[in-house]
Structure 1
C-alpha cells in the first residue's frame, strides 16, 4: 500500500461523517417516472440530507415538479427540496406555488433565477411583474414562510458574470436575502473550488457551500452541456474517456472512479458534504456514496 492511500484512508476514517444530497429531474413519461422511483428506492438507504427536484426552463415542468415532490413526501422517507425559478411567471403565480408547497408540507426550496426563455446563452430579461433575480426570489420566499433555502454558486463564475466581484456580490445578495446554503454548479477542478471558497469567505459569507458533483455517464453529452453552462473540461478528463465511445461498461467504471477521486480529494481538503447530480440514475452515485461509507451500516455504527 502506498503512503498516499494510507493517509487518505485514515483521513476518511477520522473525518466528519460524509453527508450528501441528490438532485433529480421530473419525469416526462410514465416509463421515466417508473425509472425515477426505482432510482429513489435504490438511493434512499444512503440517508441523503435532502433530494432536490428541478424546474424546467420557463416553468415548463412546474406541474410535474410539484407532483414529483408530493410523491416523495407521501411515498418515501426522503426530504424533498423543490426548485423554483423567476422565469416565465408573475410574483403572484410564484407566491401561489410557494404557499402550495408549504401547505403540502415541503420545508425546503432551491431558489434560482433560471435560464432565459430562449435558452442558455440568450439574453435574460426579467419579467415585468415577476421576481427579477434569485435574491428577489429568496426574499419573497422568506416573506411567505421560513423555508430552508438553497441557492446556486459558480466556482468558475456564471457565464453572464462580468468579473469575480460581480459574481460574489450577486451571491452575497442571495445570502443577505435569507439563503441557508449554496450548492455549486458541478466542476472537475478542485483547486478552482478551493479558490472559490476563499473568495466567498473574504466576502463575509459564512453559510455552507456544498460542492456539486456530476458522475459522468455520457462524456459527449457532458462536454456539450458544459460548454453551455461554463464548466471547463480538463484535458486529463477527456483522455480518461478516449476510445470508450462503444464501451459502456468501462465508461461506467471510469465515471465512478473519477467522481470518487474528486470527492476523496475534497474530503482531504476538509469537505464532508456533497450534492450529486444523479441524472435520474442510481448506479454511479450509489457506488460512490457506498465507498464513502454512507448508508445503513454507517448510521448503525454512529448510533452505537
Structure 2
C-alpha cells in the first residue's frame, strides 16, 4: 500500500499579528514535512490577496502550497485573471470549490457549481493545475438528497478533478461508504480524509452546525461533561481523532488533510502519534 500523504490547511491572516503568528505556526508544521499546505479563499474572493500572499510566502520557504479558489460571486473574467496570476507565480495545485456567498451579495455570479469551475479551469489552462475538490461523506448540508450529492461529486470528477478532500467527520463508516459508492460509479480519484482536531468544544459545535458535520452523541456528551477543563477536552479529543485517523489509514485512506485552524500544537500531536 502506498505511503499516505499528509497535508495541512491554513486560512489567510487578516492582521499583521495574525501573519506573524501563522508564520511561526507554519515553520513548526514544516518540520513535519507535509506534502503541501493549502490556504482558504474567502467567499466572493474576499481574501484573494491574503490567500495569494500566504501561498507565495509558503512557496518562498521551499514548501508546496495550494490556494483554494471558490467561484461563487465570481465571473469568468475574474476567475480567468486569478488563474493567469497563479500560473505566472508557478502555482501548480488548486483546491476548487463553489464556496458560499458572503452576506450582502445578491447574485451568485456566472458559476453555480464547483463542477462548472473545474470545467472552466481545464478549458482555460489544460493540465497546468492539479485540482482538488471537496467531498461530503455525511452529505452536503444543502444537497437535496444523498444521491444528488453523490452525483454532484461525480460531475466534479468528470469535469477534470484529480483528487478530493472531504469535509471533516468523526464517523469512519461514513467515509468508507462514500468511497465505496464513488467506486461503483467508476470514479477512481484519491479521496483524502479531512481531519479536524478537537481542542475547543464550543467552537467545534459551531463549526459542525454550519457545515453539517455530525459529532457522535457519545463524543458530544463527553466533551460537554468537561465544562471549561480545556486540558481534558484536548486530551480526550486527541485520543478520539487519533483512533479515527488510525482506522482511516488502516482502511486504505490515501491521505489525511488536517484543518489546522492556524495552530500547530494539535496537528503536531496527532501527526506524531500516526507516524
Shorter-chain TM band: over 0.9
Q: Which moved further from structure 2: 93-102 or 237-246?
A: 237-246
Which SS does the other structure have where 1:182 is aligned? Answer: strand
Query: Which 4+ stretches in 1 moved above 4 angstroms?
Result: none
Corresponding residue SS for 2:31: helix
SS where residue 126 of structure 1 aligns?
coil
CA contact (8 A) 1:87 1:117 kept: no
Match status 1:276 vs 2:261: no
Query: In structure 1, how many angstroms separate the alpha carbons of the residues matched to 2:255 and 2:56?
Result: 25
Residue number in structure 2 paired with 1:93: 78
Match for residue 170 of structure 1 among 152, 155, 161: 152
Q: Deviation string for 1:206-237 (max 9, x for gaps)?
A: 00001111001211111112112111111111
Q: What secondary structure is seen at the aligned counterpart in 2 of 1:186?
A: coil
Aligned to 2:237: 255
Aligned to 2:63: 78
Pick one of 14, 17, 22 that aligns with 1:28: 14
Q: Which residue of structure 2 lines up, in the alignment, with residue 132 of structure 1?
A: 112
Distance in 2 between residues matched to 1:245 and 1:79, nearest whole Å: 39
How do residues 119-198 of structure 1 correspond to structure 2 at under 5 angstroms? 126-127=108-109, 130-145=110-125, 146-198=128-180
Structure 2's unaligned 5+ residue stretches are none
In the alignment, structure 1 residue 224 sits paired with structure 2 residue 206:
yes
1:255 deviation in Å? 2.0
Conserved? CA contact 1:186–1:213, under 8 Å? yes
Q: How far apart are the structure 1 equivalents of 2:261 and 2:227?
A: 19
Task: Summarize the Cα distance change of 1:125–1:163 in structure 2 as closer, same or farther, 3 Å threshold.
Answer: farther
| Alpha-carbon distance between aligned partners in 1 of 2:81 and 2:151, rounded to the nearest angstrom | 29
Tell me what 1:5 maps to. Answer: none
SS at match of 2:141: coil
Structure 2: distance between partners of 1:255 and 1:16: 28
Alpha-carbon RMSD? 1.7
- Give the paired residue count: 273
How many Å apart are 1:125 and its aligned residue? 5.4
SS of alignment partner, residue 199 of structure 1: helix
Matched, 1:108 2:89: no
Give the distance between the partners of 1:196 and 1:219, measured in 2 at CA.
27
Which residue pairs with 2:25 in the alignment?
39
1:199 aligns with 2:185: no
Q: Are the aligned partners of 1:215 and 1:259 in contact in 2 as well (CA < 8 Å)?
A: yes
Q: TM-score, length-normalised on structure 2?
A: 0.94
